[in-house]
A = this chain, B = another copy of it.
């Protein structure tokens, strides 16, 4: 066990202030294994600076409606104990970019549908895939299914 360098570690309050994430949420993320911190002799958390990056990505994920379990999975390759290397982060970012693109394409498709359907005022039960769910089938999961 070595000492915790006060110049290179942040208290939970500092992290909360810098990231805009509540202390209670940081406790929660730690419970889920998304982040971690060293402890002082008096048991208080001291965060390595690179943890701020993880937290920022968690915030980003939240904005996109990505569940924390997915974030946990993306973070799995990142080391908890040392500062992640460039290639560590690159692995994460690759997954992330794919997720983002999927999300964006999905929205763009919906925008097109909305413009062609309700937007035009036709409300055609024949051509509208948005209002005619039978036309927009997904194999499984939520959403319309063939009957």
Contact = CB atoms under 8 A, between A and B. Distances in A.
Interface of A: 14, 17-21, 52-53, 56-57, 59-60, 62-65, 86-87, 89-90, 92-93, 96-97, 100-101, 103-104, 106-108, 110-111, 114-115, 117-119, 121, 123, 130-134, 138, 142-145, 147
Contact of A121 (B90, B97, B103): B90
Copies in the complex: 2
Given A104-B108, A110-B63, A131-B53, A121 B86 contact: yes
A110 B103 CA distance: 11
A23 B91 CA distance: 41
A10 B111 CA distance: 29
Interface centre among A97, A107, A121, A144 (most CB of B within 10 A): A107
A131 B63 contact: no
B64 A144 contact: no
Contacts of A115: 97
A141 to B, nearest CB: 8
B20 A143 contact: yes
Contacts of A130: 56-57, 60
Contacts of A59: 133, 142-144
A100 B93 contact: no
B17 A147 contact: yes
